[in-house]
Chain A
Amino acid sequence: MGNGTSIGRVRGLGSARHGAQHWLVQRYTAIGNLVAGLFLLFSLVGLGDYTQKGLHEWLHQPLPATMVGLFVVSSFWHARLGLQVLVEDYVHDDGNKFACMALLNILAFAGAAFGLLCVVRIALGA
């Protein structure tokens, strides 16, 4: 780690000054997960009908589709931030760290996109 001098920051070794943003968004998405996750959990417990037909009918409705869609975004975002901390804590080689973060970003966006597409398909499909 750099000592936070100007030259250290230029070399990419000092504080990136983005820590507060990461910290805040981790908490914003935590609130999103709390609300949408509990909605999903209570809905599923209450539903009881775990056939494809029953679940499709439930997720076809606007409110469940919106909540599950938001849960996909919020949970993947939260997981991406959390796994970044894991990488920063345990991957110390700069090259490996870059590779891990690139893979993490791609997987987080790809996973969220796929999940959203599935929800939209269920919500708008017949």
Chain B
Amino acid sequence: MAQADTKAKSRPISPHLQIWRWGPAMFVSILHRVTGDGMAFVGLGVLLWWLYAVAAGPIAYDSFAAHAGAWYGKVVLIGLTWAFFNHMASGLRHFVLDMGAGFELKNNNLWSILTPLFALAATVTVWTVILLK
């Protein structure tokens, strides 16, 4: 009976941020939610403001451009670019996982690590091109 008790205690427990051992897949999953909800709250707002400014005319657009061109505006725009690429990469990873592929531990860890690295590289590339133009 004592042996059974020890076994019962070491059974897997539900995932939780504080007691779950961190792994690449968990990190990518959390980033997917953070970037997705971040883009939903901030990105769609910026998209609407931008479309409104282009539709409304030069005065409205100057006001948008003044904020977008300021340091905090650039932080938001670069952040949104990163969020877009990160969510895109982890979303494509989801498509593969949806087909039932890529669950082997080694493969899963590899693509989990490559996902955020791709997002960083793509963000740096895009903003290098924009800022050098």
Chain A residues within 8 Å of B, Cβ to Cβ: 27, 30, 34, 37, 41, 45, 48, 50-53, 55-56, 59, 68, 72, 75-76, 79, 82-83, 86, 111, 114-115, 118-119, 121-122, 125
Contacts and interface: CB of A to CB of B under 8 A. Distances in A.
Interface stretch (B5-13, B16-24, B44-52, B101-109): B44-52
Given A52-B65, A82-B37, 15 more contacts: A34-B92, A37-B88, A41-B84, A45-B126, A51-B61, A52-B57, A52-B61, A79-B40, A83-B37, A111-B44, A115-B48, A118-B54, A118-B55, A122-B51, A122-B54
Contacts of A50: 65
B130 interface: yes
A119 B39 CA distance: 20
B54 A72 contact: no
Given A45-B129, A118-B54, A75 B95 contact: no
Contact of B37 (A56, A86, A118, A121): A86
Contacts of A45: 126, 129-130
A55 B58 CA distance: 11
Given A53-B58, A118-B54, A34 B40 contact: no
A45 B125 CA distance: 11
B88 A34 contact: yes
A59 B54 contact: yes
A51 B88 CA distance: 28
Contacts of A118: 48, 51-52, 54-55
Nearest to B65: A50
A91 to B, nearest CB: 13
9 cross-chain pairs, A with B, having the tightest CB-CB distances, nearest first: A52-B61, A79-B40, A118-B51, A118-B55, A121-B55, A52-B58, A48-B133, A55-B54, A82-B36
